[in-house]
Chain A
Amino acid sequence: MPEFLMPSLGADMTQGTLVEWAVKPGDRVHRGDVVAVVETSKGAIDVEIFSDGIIDQLLVPEGTTVPVGEPLALVRSDGRPEPEAPAAPAEAPVRPVTREPAPEAPAEPAVPVEPSTPAPAAEARGEAAARVRASPAARRRAEELDVDIGKLQGTGPGGAVVIADVEQASGPGPAEEETPNPMGEKPRALTEAPGDIREIIAAAMTRSKREIPHYYLSNWVDLAPANGWLADWNDSHPVEERLIPGVLMIRAVALALERFHEFNGFFRDGKFQPGDGIHVGAAISLRRGGLVAPGLRDANKRSLVELMTAFRGLVARARAGRLKASEMAGGTITVSSLGEQGVEEVYPVIYSPQVAIVGFGTPSERPWVVEGRVEPRWLVRVSLAADHRVSDGHRGALFLEAVTHLLQEPDSL
């Protein structure tokens, strides 16, 4: 029977608290329905289900904190008859696929227990046999490196899995990068309680600055065409269809990305993985401090009005702390606009594992040379930080120039 798992609502999430079930056993659900509210360090998030079916059983009571990937509920496919196991519900024939086998009795009840995951030196007795012997530091390292600790052969005391086993299993890469870290500090696993958005940002930005070789480019954008176009548009449209400059910027970035794929996607496992669409994360600052960058999906395929509506919704939900799961982790690139903060230019930090971020400073009126004459013009400084492992400055310059150019021709947006 399909399982509904604790979703990953961001690259840095390792666990979440099931705050509230929006469904109960027997409910029919459809793809996209909100079935639960999960509290993460970024706030409470409505979690959608990605398949149709009928909720068969809720495995996790409200208030429980579970790791990402842990089954939360069992979902019957539509129309399938209910499996009748009323006699012995305790021995539900379900073995949740978890990294650490659950401590309840294994599936074969009669035989006293060979654990299916070979737990190396765990003296195979009852509960002890079901739990992987691993040091706390090894478990944390395994989370950091995304290594399945249950598959490792421990070499530590009593056959326990130790840090060295985990790092060996993960191969070269972050493990080796980290050793010479002159700070002598390791990033903490992000398993802390909700509310630590400062810590989340600290970890994400530290990782970004440590791992990503950023390069930076910037350019002036003449806003006269866009401002003129926007004024006309807003004069002639009802309030709900009115636009803000930020949406034009997001749209310009999205359209430019259609021709510059190497700025749209992720750097994972040592290589670039293009995004499955152009989903522009919009950096939104939160009133309680910190920021999030939920994604506007398929920003290149949606009209400005659609984007505006979506953006407005994102901001409202982000500030209310109720972003949807699919939004939370959705960006394939990020756009950061400092709006009316009064600074000329932003040098943004890439939101790992993304590979680029575009920043807009505060528009300001400045002298500008037009056809040999100095004129006052409204200008904005656009900047690009990109991952040098994936792209080079030449392509970056062309991309930034494309964004600039699109903003000169607002009709094309």
Chain B
Amino acid sequence: MSRSKTTYREAVRAAIREAMRDDPRVFLMGEDVGRYGGCYAVSMGLLEEFGEQRVRDTPLSESAFVGAGIGAALGGMRPIVEVMTVNFSLLALDQIVNTAATLRHMSGGQFSVPLVIRMATGAGRQLAAQHSHSLECWYAHVPGLKVVAPATLADARGMLGTALADPDPVIVFEHAGLYNMEGELEDDAGAVDISRAAVRRTGKDVTLVTYGGSLHKTLQAAQALAGEGIEAEVVDLRSLRPIDDATIVKSLSRTHRALVVDEGWRTLSLSAEITTRLVEQAFYELDAPVGRVCSEEVPIPYPAHLEAAALPQPEKIASAVRRMLRA
């Protein structure tokens, strides 16, 4: 199988392009997605390729254009709505939580909202506290939504198509720090499942559960630990709602120790949810308390050194594992 060099950004773009070519109902809508090419340059060139009807710049009103996306989905289209960052998506919370997530239920199954909302999340690019937060868990809390976090090129390339095929709203979180990530991708890479977690590295001593932008920091930590004789297994959640309990429980049952790495804040977070599930479902497998490495509980700082200090980093993850193993 031939492989080509690409980036996360290009993989997302390829996924959008494929979806729009394959299905005339698919269109892209959001702030600066057209003429400017997207604030993270994901949609660069798509306006030229598909025209203004299908690559639509919107006013700066998240509530309005997410609501329009919901309406289009109800009307039979397959919209991809891009929201610049999860911070801004709070302006559309009402549309997403009160409308998109509820209509199937409130209509007794008569209406579905086949909408995909892409948004950037996460810190690390010195965009300060209003553009850098990881609020995935707010959406992962809500029944009626599916929430996914592609962390690899293959998932960036493959999750969008599966999300569009889903009859219900799916929110895709693209970590802003991943867009420049380079790697090789098979030329015929395509749709992937969006319900299961994946073991990205196998190991027998500890299970590191993570997702999104933290996956690569966690893999770096696992690499460093391997040099010390500690074999860490790394599980990429991929889907944040629903959470694939079976995979994390199975991994913990092999390693008997778990550490959750989550760029969200610790309090009432996805890491809290994962920890609880492990304790509920695999208490007797635990040989140590479940550990967590999360962001410091501050608005993400602007200065580079403070921002770095506020986030999970490979060294923090590795030293948390060492403490757990007392190695």
The distance in angstroms between the C-alpha atoms of A138 and B257, with both chains bound, is 12
CB distance from B249 to the nearest CB of A (A): 12
B285 within 8 A of A: yes
CB distance from A263 to the nearest CB of B (A): 36
A-B contacts, 17 listed (Cβ < 8 Å): A135-B256, A135-B286, A135-B288, A136-B283, A136-B284, A136-B285, A136-B287, A137-B285, A137-B287, A140-B284, A157-B288, A157-B324, A160-B288, A162-B287, A163-B256, A163-B287, A189-B284
B326 within 8 A of A: yes
Closest to B279 in A: A136
Q: Is the CB of A162 within 8 A of B288?
A: yes
Tell me whether A157 and B284 are in contact in the complex, defined as CB-CB below 8 angstroms, given that A137-B256, A163-B256, A184-B254 are known contacts.
Answer: no
Residues of B within 8 A of A163 (CB): 256, 287
B75 within 8 A of A: no
The distance in angstroms between the C-alpha atoms of A137 and B254, with both chains bound, is 11
Identify which of residues 182-238 in chain A touch chain B, using a CB-to-CB cut-off of 8 Å.
Answer: 184-186, 189
A391 within 8 A of B: no
CB distance from A317 to the nearest CB of B (A): 33
Residues of A within 8 A of B283 (CB): 136
Interface of A is mostly: loop
B305 within 8 A of A: no
Residues of B within 8 A of A285 (CB): none
Q: Is the CB of A138 within 8 A of B287?
A: yes
Residues of B within 8 A of A156 (CB): 287-288, 326
Closest to B288 in A: A157
The distance in angstroms between the C-alpha atoms of A185 and B286, with both chains bound, is 15
Residues of A within 8 A of B253 (CB): 185-186
The distance in angstroms between the C-alpha atoms of A163 and B288, with both chains bound, is 10
The distance in angstroms between the C-alpha atoms of A341 and B280, with both chains bound, is 44
Residues of A within 8 A of B254 (CB): 184
CB distance from A135 to the nearest CB of B (A): 4
A273 within 8 A of B: no
B323 within 8 A of A: yes
B303 within 8 A of A: no
CB distance from A154 to the nearest CB of B (A): 10
Residues of A within 8 A of B287 (CB): 135-138, 156, 162-163
Identify which of residues 42-86 in chain A touch chain B, using a CB-to-CB cut-off of 8 Å.
Answer: none
Identify which of residues 203-226 in chain B touch chain A, using a CB-to-CB cut-off of 8 Å.
Answer: none
B289 within 8 A of A: yes
Q: Is the CB of B323 within 8 A of A136?
A: no
The distance in angstroms between the C-alpha atoms of A189 and B326, with both chains bound, is 27
Q: Is the CB of B326 within 8 A of A137?
A: no
The distance in angstroms between the C-alpha atoms of A156 and B284, with both chains bound, is 16
Residues of B within 8 A of A139 (CB): 284
The distance in angstroms between the C-alpha atoms of A135 and B253, with both chains bound, is 14
Q: How many residues of A contact B (CB 8 A)?
A: 16
Q: Is the CB of A157 within 8 A of B326?
A: yes
Residues of B within 8 A of A184 (CB): 254
Q: Which 10 A-B pairs have the closest CB atoms?
A: A137-B287, A135-B287, A140-B284, A162-B287, A136-B284, A163-B287, A137-B256, A136-B283, A136-B286, A157-B288
CB distance from A67 to the nearest CB of B (A): 15
Residues of B within 8 A of A140 (CB): 284
Q: Which B residues contact A (CB, under 8 angstroms)?
A: 253-254, 256, 283-289, 323-324, 326
The distance in angstroms between the C-alpha atoms of A185 and B253, with both chains bound, is 8
Residues of B within 8 A of A160 (CB): 288
Closest to A166 in B: B287
Residues of A within 8 A of B324 (CB): 157
The distance in angstroms between the C-alpha atoms of A26 and B287, with both chains bound, is 45
Tell me whether A137 and B289 are in contact in the complex, defined as CB-CB below 8 angstroms, given that A156-B326, A163-B256 are known contacts.
Answer: no
Closest to A159 in B: B326
Tell me whether A137 and B284 are in contact in the complex, defined as CB-CB below 8 angstroms, given that A157-B289, A163-B256, A184-B254 are known contacts.
Answer: yes
A155 within 8 A of B: yes
CB distance from B142 to the nearest CB of A (A): 32
Residue with the highest number of chain A CB atoms closer than 10 Å, among B254, B286, B287: B287
CB distance from A139 to the nearest CB of B (A): 8
The distance in angstroms between the C-alpha atoms of A184 and B253, with both chains bound, is 9
Closest to A161 in B: B287
Residues of A within 8 A of B285 (CB): 136-137
Closest to B285 in A: A137
Residues of B within 8 A of A157 (CB): 288-289, 323-324, 326
Map CB proximity to B onto A94-137 as digits: 1 under 8 Å, 0 otherwise: 00000000000000000000000000000000000000000111
The distance in angstroms between the C-alpha atoms of A157 and B288, with both chains bound, is 7
Identify which of residues 137-163 in chain A touch chain B, using a CB-to-CB cut-off of 8 Å.
Answer: 137-140, 155-157, 160, 162-163
Residue with the highest number of chain A CB atoms closer than 10 Å, among B285, B286, B288, B323: B288
The distance in angstroms between the C-alpha atoms of A189 and B285, with both chains bound, is 11
Residues of B within 8 A of A162 (CB): 287-288
The distance in angstroms between the C-alpha atoms of A184 and B249, with both chains bound, is 13
The distance in angstroms between the C-alpha atoms of A10 and B253, with both chains bound, is 27
The distance in angstroms between the C-alpha atoms of A186 and B256, with both chains bound, is 12
The distance in angstroms between the C-alpha atoms of A157 and B324, with both chains bound, is 6
The distance in angstroms between the C-alpha atoms of A135 and B326, with both chains bound, is 14
The distance in angstroms between the C-alpha atoms of A162 and B287, with both chains bound, is 6
The distance in angstroms between the C-alpha atoms of A140 and B285, with both chains bound, is 8
The distance in angstroms between the C-alpha atoms of A137 and B324, with both chains bound, is 15
Residue with the highest number of chain B CB atoms closer than 10 Å, among A135, A138, A186: A135
Closest to B283 in A: A136
Residues of A within 8 A of B289 (CB): 157
Closest to B323 in A: A157
Closest to B252 in A: A137
CB distance from B255 to the nearest CB of A (A): 10
Map CB proximity to B onto A153-184 as digits: 1 under 8 Å, 0 otherwise: 00111001011000000000000000000001
The distance in angstroms between the C-alpha atoms of A276 and B45, with both chains bound, is 87
Residues of B within 8 A of A189 (CB): 284
Question: 15 more A-B contacts (CB under 8 A) besides A137-B284, A157-B289, A160-B288?
Answer: A135-B256, A135-B286, A135-B288, A136-B283, A136-B284, A137-B256, A137-B285, A140-B284, A155-B326, A157-B288, A162-B287, A163-B256, A163-B287, A184-B254, A185-B253
CB distance from B165 to the nearest CB of A (A): 34
CB distance from A199 to the nearest CB of B (A): 15
The distance in angstroms between the C-alpha atoms of A140 and B287, with both chains bound, is 10
The distance in angstroms between the C-alpha atoms of A184 and B288, with both chains bound, is 20
Residue with the highest number of chain B CB atoms closer than 10 Å, among A137, A160, A184: A137
The distance in angstroms between the C-alpha atoms of A88 and B285, with both chains bound, is 42
The distance in angstroms between the C-alpha atoms of A163 and B254, with both chains bound, is 12
CB distance from B141 to the nearest CB of A (A): 28
